Amino acid sequence: MLTGRVRLYGKKPYGAAVLHGGPGAMGSMEDVARHLAKWGAMEPWQSRLTVMGQVEELHEQLTAYGELPAVVIGHSWGAWLALLHNAAHPKAVKKLILVDSGPLESRYVPEIMERRKANLGPEARRTFLRLLGEAERGNAKAMAQLGELADRADSVDPLPQRAKEPDAEQYRRVWPEADAMRRQGKLKEALSGISCPVTVIHGAQDPHPPAGVLEPLKEMGVPCRSFILPKCGHTPWLERSAREIFYELLDEELKA
C-alpha cells in the first residue's frame, strides 16, 4: 500500500522501516520491505533536498505511520540517514541495522575506488569516472548509467533486478552536503548519542570497506553486532550466495 511517500507492507503495527540508498534511489529497498511484511514494514521515500530536511522528513514519516520506537534498517546512504535521524530523535529508534553503509570517515574513501578498480577493466574505470562527474552535475541519464556500472563493480554474483529510475536532482543536491559532513567529522559525531542496539551487516566484497563502519563505531564506544557476509558485494539481497542468510539475519534481528 502506498500512502503519500511511504509504502506500507503487511499489517499494523509497522515497527520496521527500511531506508533506501542514493541519495535518490527510491524503491531500491522494495524487495527487503516485502520480505519484512510479516513484521509490518514501512518503506519511506525521501524527497527533500537537504540532509537535515531528509532527517526531519523521515521522522515525520515514522511518526505518522510507524509504531515507535521502530527498528530502522538503512542501506548505503540510508544507513547514514538512519544514524543522523537517531542522533536527532533517539527515542524514536529501538534498534539500528546498518546494511553496507558507506564509510563514516573520509580516510576510508580512497579504498572504495581501489576496490572498484579491481573489479573493472581500464575502459570501464574511465567510463565510471566520466559518468560520476556528469551525475554530480545532475545528468539523470548519466546517473542511471553510473548505477548500472556501479552495480557491476559492487556485486559478486548478482540476481536479476528490476531497473528503477533514480532521482538525479536529489543526488546532486544532497550528496555533496552529506559528503562534507563526513569530511568535517559531523557524521562520526552522530555516533556519540547512540543508546540503542546496533547491528552491522556488510558484504565482504563490497568496495565500501567494512572497517569504515566498524572502526568508527568502536572508536566512539558504540557496541555492535556485526556480520560480514562472504561472496557478497554492496547489495546482499541481490547476491545469489548471500540473499538467504541476509534475510535470516534480518528476521533474527526483528525477533530479538
Predicted confidence (pLDDT) per residue in 184-237, tens digit: 999 998 888 898 999 999 999 999 999 999 999 999 999 999 999 999 999 999
Residue 118 domain flag: no
The whole-number pLDDT of residue 2 equals 47
Residue 19 domain flag: yes
Residue 144 domain flag: no
Residue 149 domain flag: no
What is the domain extent for residue 179? Answer: 2-108+174-255
Q: The CATH number of the domain where 192 resides is what?
A: 3.40.50.1820
Burial grade of 227 (CB within 10 A; 0-12, 13-18, 19 or more): middle
Q: Which grid cell is 194?
A: 547512540
Residue 73 domain flag: yes
- What single-letter DSSP state applies at residue 17? E
Q: What is the pTM of this model?
A: 0.88
Residue 120 domain flag: no
Residue 140 domain flag: no
Longest C-alpha distance within the chain, in Å?
50
Residue 180 domain flag: yes
Is the distance from CB of 200 to CB of 214 less than 8 angstroms? yes
Is the distance from CB of 209 to CB of 244 less than 8 angstroms? no
**Whole-angstrom distance, CA of residue 22 vs CA of residue 75:** 9
77-88 and 168-183 helices, crossing angle to 10°: 60
| Order of strands, sheet of 225-229, starting from the edge strand that comes earlier in the sequence | 2-3, 6-9, 41-44, 16-19, 70-75, 93-99, 198-203, 225-229
The whole-number pLDDT of residue 125 equals 75
- What single-letter DSSP state applies at residue 174? H
Q: Which grid cell is 108?
A: 576510508
Q: Which grid cell is 113?
A: 575506488
3-state secondary structure of 25: coil
The whole-number pLDDT of residue 163 equals 64
**Which residue numbers in the chain have pLDDT < 70?**
1-4, 163
**What domain count does the chain have?**
1
The whole-number pLDDT of residue 137 equals 78
Burial grade of 117 (CB within 10 A; 0-12, 13-18, 19 or more): middle
Task: Name beta bridge partners: 16.
Answer: 41, 71
**Whole-angstrom distance, CA of residue 219 vs CA of residue 192:** 10
Q: Which candidate, 202, 247, 191, 256, places its Cα nearest to that of 229?
A: 202
185 Rama class: left (phi>0) / alpha (psi -120 to 50) / beta:
left
